[in-house]
Amino acid sequence: MTKKILISTGGTGGHVIPAITIYNHLKNNHETLISTDIRGLAYLDKNYNTVVINTPKLTNFFLLPFSFIKILFLTIKSFFLLKKNNISILISTGGYMSLPLCLAAKILGIKIYLIEPNMVIGRANKFFLNFSEKLICYSKNLINLPTGINQKLTTIKPLIRKEYYETNTTYFKNDNSFTIVIIGGSQGAKIFDELLNQSFASISKKISIKIIHQTSEKNINFLRNFYFQNNIESKVFSFDYNLYEILKQGDLCITRAGASSLAELAFLNIPFVAIPLPSSKDNHQYENAKYYKEQDCCWIIDQKSFDEQKFSKFLLTLINKSEDYLMKKNNLQKLNYQNTWNNVNQNLLEIFNEN
């Protein structure tokens, strides 16, 4: 039986990418709609049936009264949106963006399903946990999970965009250069743009490397000039819809530790060095990386104690395809055994088709 489903998302790719993936899993079986804030629109194109609920952040103490008034207004707007579209299931990918829709769904008695891709349960998901049907996550060992809700916990394989399954993960290189992909995010980060490249300049004098570097628009020219002056073959960019085509060229990836980014790298079987964002809420990026580290699939570097010389020595060892490097690659392959689009699709449909 076809159901009408609304997926609430917005903000960063960490929230929007799981929403996009779920949408593509459900669209052939159910009437599906995505709600997002203005920021989330950057990740969505005309292929998605989208509405905007632009929930304000609750970070500015002095603007809190105005923010609460706006959230009340948006809750009323969400109430009529859900009622008009006859929505029977609301799927929330977490974050403050979900607040008005989850409140309205609760008032209307609509079933709420929560998606938690991180290894630490988010504050919005924790708040709505008692009102939800299921909390869908990747591990039963979520941090900060309240007691007594095990019956609501449902684990699935990580949500990975369909194009990652469809791409040929084998990339044939036409040279012997060791390729390092740096995913600093389109907003950039100082450690990725000013510290790592000094290590690359150092090791490039000893061994042939190629750098593919994602950064912010404002840092593109600086990095291009830096790599050119140090005779390092490179590609520097800010945003690419076909990121998976870039990632699979890498022998190694250096990245933050967003849940979607790590899941996609793991699926592509690319060993990675995670440098978690120290300011991430509840240190969730570190916990995301730790999940893979405990399965011997990655390395973690603490940004606060970054040492350029130690990092250069560490990279040289990896570039020579050390036993540790090959072990990580083998473990990643084992981790994604039976992770297919069809298996995840069947699992999700079973969850949302329950009466």
Q: What is the 3-state secondary structure (H, E, C) of 92-119?
A: ECCCHHHHHHHHHHHHHCCEEEEEECCC
- Do 174 and 93 fall into the same domain? no
The whole-model pTM stands at 0.91
Percent of the residues in the chain that have a pLDDT greater than 90, as a whole number: 69
* CA–CA gap between residue 29 and residue 147 (Å, rounded): 34
| Confidence check: pLDDT of 215 > 80 | yes
* CA–CA gap between residue 256 and residue 275 (Å, rounded): 5
| Confidence check: pLDDT of 239 > 80 | no
For residues 117-139, one letter each, b for 16 or more C-beta atoms within 10 angstroms of the residue's C-beta and e for the rest, the string is bbbbbbebbbebbeebbbbbbbe
Convert the pLDDT of each residue in 20-77 to its tens digit.
999 999 999 999 999 999 999 988 988 899 999 998 877 666 677 888 889 999 999 9
Number of C-beta neighbours around residue 169 at 10 A: 13
- Do 127 and 14 fall into the same domain? yes
| Confidence check: pLDDT of 252 > 90 | yes
Return the pLDDT at 275.
94
Convert the pLDDT of each residue in 176-213 to its tens digit.
789 999 997 655 567 888 888 889 999 999 999 999 99
Contact 88, 60 (CB under 8 A): no
- Do 45 and 63 fall into the same domain? yes
- Do 203 and 216 fall into the same domain? yes
- Do 71 and 156 fall into the same domain? yes
Say how many domains are in the chain: 2
* CA–CA gap between residue 192 and residue 188 (Å, rounded): 7
- Do 39 and 185 fall into the same domain? no
- Do 247 and 280 fall into the same domain? yes
- Do 176 and 296 fall into the same domain? yes
| Confidence check: pLDDT of 234 > 90 | yes
* CA–CA gap between residue 240 and residue 143 (Å, rounded): 33
Number of C-beta neighbours around residue 266 at 10 A: 24
More confident residue, 289 or 277: 289
Return the pLDDT at 45.
84
- Do 329 and 344 fall into the same domain? no
Confidence band for 136, pLDDT divided at 50, 70 and 90: very high
Helix (H, G, I), strand (E, B) or coil at 273: strand
Convert the pLDDT of each residue in 87-130 to its tens digit.
999 999 998 899 999 999 999 999 999 999 999 999 999 999 99
Q: What is the extent of the structural domain holding 210?
A: 165-335
Mean pLDDT for 283-292 is 95
What's CA 90's distance to the chain center, in Å? 21
Please name the amino acid found at residue 4.
Answer: K
- Do 154 and 180 fall into the same domain? no
- Do 148 and 219 fall into the same domain? no
| Confidence check: pLDDT of 142 > 90 | yes
Return the pLDDT at 14.
86
The CATH number of residue 132's host domain is: 3.40.50.2000
Mean pLDDT for 291-310 is 94
Return the pLDDT at 61.
64
Percent of the residues in the chain that have a pLDDT greater than 70, as a whole number: 94
- Do 87 and 66 fall into the same domain? yes
Mean pLDDT for 242-255 is 92
